[in-house]
Amino acid sequence: MTIQANQEAVTVEALINGRNVKSLSQSSKENPANPTEIVGYFPVTTKEQAVEAIEAAAEAFKTWKKTDIEERVTRMRKAIEKIRAAENEIVHLLSREHGKPLYDAHGEIYVSLMWMEFACNEAAAALEEQVTEHDHGKTILSYDPIGVVAAISPWNYPIALSTIKIAPALLAGNTIVLKPSPYAPLAAAKVAEIIASEFPAGVINVVHGDADVGVELTTNPHVTKIAFTGGTATAKHIIRAASDTIKDMTLELGGNDAAIFLESFDVNDERAMRRIVVSNFLTTGQICMIAKRVYVHRSIYDAFVEKYIEAANRWIRIGDPFDADTTVGPVNNLKQKEYVLGLVEDAKQRGAKVISLGRILDQKRFDEGYYLQPTLVLGCDAHDRIVVEEQFGPTVPILPFDDEDQVITLHNESIYGLTSSVWGAEKEAIAVARQLEAGTTMINTAAVQGLDVRFPFGGFKQSGIGREYGTEGIRTYTEQHVINVPKMLDLPYIPE
Ligand code: NAD
């Protein structure tokens, strides 16, 4: 295969202390829809450069932490306007490097800006110190910045999962070193650069690479908080790496999110059937909170499967991400494509029935790119790999269940607990939802369709530690500091 640099190939560089810094070696990112095309180049940041970026952030923190909230919010709002003005350019770059269709790339910017605006609107109230006069004296509770934040983001939502960290971290008075994923580094780096242009040098730094640079970010003593979104296996390395210096951490990790359809669910509700299909295959199934296993009450199972296939065949149109008709693009990278294929093959060998879904719009593009035709997997066992592992791709198992206790047990025995959804009559659905171990449970919708950035988002169990979004997602970048002025200065039980 001959790899060619496209005329529009972009080059991003590390951003350290307000300067673009070249590296001795570069990596390239190919277009997953057409892997012979190089979308752009990004540097391989050296250990020394990573240290330089962290030290720049530590130096900038000394003054940035003293700025008032009005200044921080004003700067962030200017950055939001610049991102909005550059939206089309960013969306095209994101779509080409990631493989997500244009509408979906716009959706990512939409979610990013919604959150950044929420964070700007809420920051002053979330961070305001609380002074309490009480019988025992006076207490001041303040939300102090933590220091240098290492923000490590994944490839599936590279912009949203970077800005979800950058905005609250900076608004709370911290400085940051961002490391995007090498599988989608370009658009995230561009957005970080746009934001950085509104802030003093050193407040935002960007480095590139993989585990090598990641290790420096997670062990360096100047880094006081890690904000990581990615796989559970990687998080285990990070926890170990950070243990020597006991860093504060927010970890947003993998999920195996279940969608549960109760007996009261109306299979003839076409809008709801479309919503579950979208919840399974948006971004080619590569979203942490996508519905990854579907459980349907046995009394409606056959009718559900029939209607599901009809709805999926209507909505899924597999094509070039730049084609306006495309709803499902390629998988982001070859490793992920092979992993998903392996899971489907394993299910087949164990006797499952695999049904292809949707229409291929451009067979040539499909054959050349990292495409997978979406599939439905029926007749698998509750503990097959395709049911218990996070597939993170365009395939979904649908299984029958007999009663609510059984499906609640199946839901809760997972090592994960990120999101879930329950579909059917609202009262019954909420009653089941209350029994599920998941950070968010949506009723009659799922995945990003039910995301509300005003409320905390995160996982139970091995899906993570801490919360992003909501007021919690701002305060997570602070240390609570109590200043006590007690009336009784000397305790009575301490002898003279
Ligand atoms: P990943 O864990 O492979 O990589 C994530 C980031 O960690 C990348 O930037 C990578 O370069 C970096 N990294 C790798 N090794 C490291 C190390 N030893 N130290 C420090 N950094 C290191 O994840 P991915 O494949 O990019 O993303 C997919 C995973 O992310 C899925 O499991 C998905 O569920 C999860 N995810 C979770 C959420 C959430 O909010 N819970 C959101 C999106 C994705």
pLDDT in tens, 336-382: 999 999 999 999 999 999 999 999 999 999 999 999 999 999 999 99
What pLDDT does residue 8 have?
81
Q: Please write the tens of the pLDDT for every residue from 222-274.
A: 999 999 999 999 999 999 999 999 999 999 999 999 999 999 999 999 999 99
443's CB contacts (< 8 A; 6+ apart) are 421, 422, 423, 426, 429, 430, 433, 450
Question: Which residue carries 């939300």 as its tokens?
Answer: 143
- The predicted pLDDT at position 394 comes to 98
pLDDT, average across residues 111-137: 97
Answer yes or no: is pLDDT of 193 > 90.
yes
Region 415-419 average pLDDT: 98
SS3 467: coil
Each as own residue / partner, the long-range contacts of residues 439-442 (CB below 8 Å, 24 or more positions apart, any chain) are 439/463, 439/464, 439/467, 440/289
Q: How far apart are CA 483 and CA 489, in angstroms?
A: 14
Q: Please indicate whether residue 389, judged by its CB atom, sits closer than 6 Å to ligand 1.
A: no
Paired tokens of 363: 């067979």
- pLDDT reading at 135 higher than 50: yes
pLDDT category, 417, cuts 50, 70, 90? very high
Query: Residue 297 burial (CB < 10 Å; 0-12/13-18/19+)?
Result: buried
If you average pLDDT over residues 2-8, what whole number do you get? 54
234 CA distance to ligand 1 middle (Å) = 6
pLDDT at 361: 98
Percentage of the chain lying above the pLDDT 70 cut = 99
Task: Give me the residue spans of the domains in the chain.
Answer: 10-253+463-482, 258-450
3 pLDDT more than 50: no
- State the Cα–Cα distance between residues 492 and 134, nearest whole angstrom: 19
Q: What percent of the chain has pLDDT over 90?
A: 98
User: Whose Cα sits closest to atom 13 in ligand 1?
Assistant: 211
Q: Where are the beta strands (DSSP E) in 369-468?
A: 375-378, 395-401, 416-417, 419-423, 440-443, 460-461, 464-465
112 lines ligand 1 (CB under 6 A): no
> In the prediction, which pLDDT does 4 show?
52
| Residue type, position 22, single letter | K
CA distance 231 to 233: 5
Q: What's the pLDDT at 24?
A: 86
- DSSP assignment of 271-297: HHHHHHHHHHHGGGG--TTS--EEEEE
CB neighbours of 233 closer than 8 A, spacing ≥ 6? Answer: none
Distance of CA 195 from the midpoint of ligand 1 (Å): 23
Please state which CATH class domain 10-253+463-482 belongs to. alpha beta
pLDDT category, 298, cuts 50, 70, 90? very high
Helix axes 47-64, 211-219, angle to 10 degrees: 40
Check pocket membership of 390 for ligand 1, CB cut-off 6 A: yes
Alpha carbon of 28 to those of 40, 44, 115, 292, 475: distances in Å?
6, 10, 30, 31, 37
Give catalytic residues, as residue numbers.
Answer: 165, 252, 288, 468
Q: What is the mean pLDDT of the chain?
A: 97
Predicted pLDDT of residue 7: 56
* Per-residue model confidence as pLDDT tens digits over 195-226: 999 999 999 999 999 999 999 999 999 999 99
Centre of ligand 1 from the C-alpha of residue 479, in Å: 25
Q: Considering the entire predicted model, what is its pTM? A: 0.97
Q: What span, in angstroms and rounded, lies between the C-alpha atoms of 51 and 370? A: 36
Q: What is the pLDDT of residue 407?
A: 98
CA nearest ligand 1 atom 26, residue: 154
Classified by CATH at the fold level, domain 258-450 comes out as Aldehyde Dehydrogenase; Chain A, domain 2 (3.40.309)
393 C-alpha vs ligand 1 centroid, how far in Å?
15
**Mean pLDDT to the nearest integer, 34-55:** 97
pLDDT the model gives residue 6: 55
